[in-house]
Every structure is written in structure tokens, then in C-alpha cells.
Structure 1
Amino acid sequence: MTIDYAIGAGVFLLAVAFVVAFIPGMIEPYEGIQRETVTSDRVATQLATGLLGDPTEPYLLDTDCTLAFFSGATQSKCRFSGNSLTERIGVDDAQSVDVRLTADLDGDGSTATLCWDRDGESLVEEGDAACDGSDTPFVSATSDPPTETGSVVVGRRIVSLANTDVTLLVRMW
């Protein structure tokens, strides 16, 4: 009976030691990106449901406010304030963030960053000839995304801008 108890207690202690030693290392890679995941979702929701439009019509972006947001201008009717991207979306200056609007406007199956063609008053893909230097590209970033393997967290929202369904991407790293 004593030997059975000793073997059982030994196996139990080995199992507890295994859990204590290996489980924290298995979940550690996810601890660093948890903050970015929550923040990117929060920012995407804020932009889609109020900062770039009217909160009574969520996911419908106001063209003037969206242009002002991405060009760095200020507008009194818009619900964002601040001079930098991080001030406008309410994140820490140390946080790296990229906000952009994308869509497949030409139907070729690939999505591209969008641009506002001031002459035609319409959305065009950034590589399009109509998107020249005087037009506003719908991309705003604090820094370039990492090129090496790393954690880039993306918050996505499907929104409507100028009667076109587009994807609002908020990337953080």
C-alpha cells in the first residue's frame, strides 16, 4: 500500500512539475500581441462607427471627414481631433499603426489601397493613372510595417464610402 501511494504521489508531482514548466512557455507568444489585438479592433470600430461618419449611421463613412482624416486636415464637423494619427485614434505614441482603405474596384480579384480622385470626385485604386500627386491616398501610418517575421495584428471593418463597399484596415505592431 505504501509503495502504491509513493508511486501515485510521484506521478502526480511529475505531472504538476510538467504543467508549471511548459504551459507558460506555450502561451507566451500570445501575451505580447494581446494588447495590439484589442486595440486594433477598438480603433477599427471607432473609425467605422463614429470618427469618420455619423454614429447614427455606423459603417457609412462621410467623404469629407474621411478625406480630412487621411490628409491630416481638420474639420469642425468631424469627430476626431489632434494633429498626428495616434492622437486622432487615441493610442500611445509608441504604438506603431497603419490605417488604410482597400477594395477591388476594377474587378481583377486583387485588392488595392484606395485614393480619392479630386477631379472625378470618385474612388480609384492607388496605382490608377487618375490617382496623381494632388489626390489623397487613403493610407496613414506612423511607420513602415516590419519586414521580418513578426506580429502584425489587423482589425477589419467593411464600410461604405461614396456608395462603394470598401475595407477599413487597422494594422498594429
Structure 2
Amino acid sequence: MRRSRAQTTIDFAIGAGVFLLAVAFVVAFIPGMLDPYEGIQRETVTADRVATQLSTDLLGDPNEPYTLDTDCTVAFFGDTSPTTCRFTGSDLTERISVGDTQSVDVMLVADLDDDDAATTLCWDTDSESLVEEGAAVCDVDELLVEQTSDPPTDTGSVVVAHRIVSLANTDVTLLVRMW
């Protein structure tokens, strides 16, 4: 009784060819899929760190994370530095500890009038409450926005980190954009 093998040279060549094509596909296309993330990796990590730092430490009490202190938050966006707050520095890059080469934009947004559109917020010092940008009582100096430069027109190069926080008993979104 003689046994014969069913494998031939052609079967082996086809199997090896399919394997080599699969390896070539992985080597050719996987690095290209990761390329868009290589240039913005530093900004992604930094934006996430800054958003967490602001929402859990600098603008409030670390024992109550994601609850912002009203006085410290208004002072942060108003370019003043009260002694009771946890941040120091004369400009935004010093306050959040980023280099001068990175551009950053920090803002608070919310939908206060339930029109399904989040808007930049202002702090009305007369009524001591949050109002949306564009309201009659919203002064440009009271906008809760701080930025180092204007964002680029190419939105693909902007990295955004956000945290849902509480300010003056209102849920708002803290946005940190870096480019």
C-alpha cells in the first residue's frame, strides 16, 4: 500500500504567493494609515493634559474635580491672578505650562437657551451669572475664551480635548484646542 501526497509544487507556490501578498499589503498600507497621527501626537497628549489639569486642579479644588470655582475661572479668563487660585503666570502659556511654540485656545461653551447650539459663554458681573455670547449683557472683556493666536483655517491640524464641568451650578463644556 503506497500513499501519495496531494501537495504539488503549484499548490506550494500559490500558498507562498498569497502569504507574500498579505505581508506586502501590511508593510505597504499600515504605516500610511498611521501617518496622519504622527504629526499631531504631541498636541493630542498636551491638549488632553491641559483639559484635565484645568478641570480637576487649576480652576477649582482637586477634592471636587470637574467643579470649577467661579472666581478663579473668571480670573483665569480675565487675565488676573488672585492669590486664592491655583494658577500663576501672566499669560495663557505660563498658566497651563505649555511652550511658546504651541498655539492653544481654551474656552467654555454651553447651550443655555436650549436652541441645540453650544455657544461661547460670558460672565455677567452685574447679575453674577453665565450668559451666551451675543447677549446684550455680554461684554467682550467678559468672554470666557483665552487664546494665544487665531486658529488655522485648516481644521485637520487642530486637536480638541473637552471636559464636561460645572460652573455656577451649570453644566458647561471646557474646550482646549491646540495646533
Same fold (TM over 0.5): yes
Relative to structure 1, the CA distance from residue 161 to residue 149 in structure 2 (aligned partners, 3 Å threshold; closer, same or farther) is: closer
**Alignment partner, residue 116 of structure 1:** 123
- Matched-pair contact (CA < 8 Å) for 2:122–2:139: no
In 2: Cα distance, 1:70 partner to 1:107 partner? 25
**Alignment partner, residue 63 of structure 1:** 70
| CA apart distance, 1:73 | 1.1
Relative to structure 1, the CA distance from residue 3 to residue 109 in structure 2 (aligned partners, 3 Å threshold; closer, same or farther) is: closer
**Alignment partner, residue 150 of structure 2:** 144
Structure 1: segments with no counterpart, 5+ residues = none
Structure 2: segments with no counterpart, 5+ residues = 1-7
Matched residue of 1:115: which SS?
Answer: strand
**Alignment partner, residue 177 of structure 2:** 171
In 2: Cα distance, 1:43 partner to 1:18 partner? 38
Report the TM-score, using the length of structure 2 for normalisation. Answer: 0.86
**Alignment partner, residue 4 of structure 2:** none
1:160 aligns with 2:166: yes
Report the TM-score, using the length of structure 1 for normalisation. Answer: 0.89
In 2: Cα distance, 1:131 partner to 1:17 partner? 59
| CA apart distance, 1:102 | 0.7
Relative to structure 1, the CA distance from residue 71 to residue 18 in structure 2 (aligned partners, 3 Å threshold; closer, same or farther) is: same
Superposed structure 1 runs of 4+ greater than 6 Å apart: none
In 2: Cα distance, 1:111 partner to 1:13 partner? 52
In 1: Cα distance, 2:126 partner to 2:155 partner? 40
**Alignment partner, residue 13 of structure 1:** 20
Percent same amino acid at aligned positions? 75
Quick one: which amino acid aligns to residue 136 of structure 2?
A
Q: Which has the larger radius of gyration?
A: 2
Quick one: which amino acid aligns to residue 142 of structure 2?
T
For 1:21-40, what aligned pairs fall within 5 Å after superposition? Answer: 21-40=28-47
Kindly report the root-mean-square deviation, in angstroms, between the aligned alpha carbons of the 2 structures.
1.8
- Among 99, 102, 125, the alignment partner of 1:92 is 99
Count, aligned residues: 172
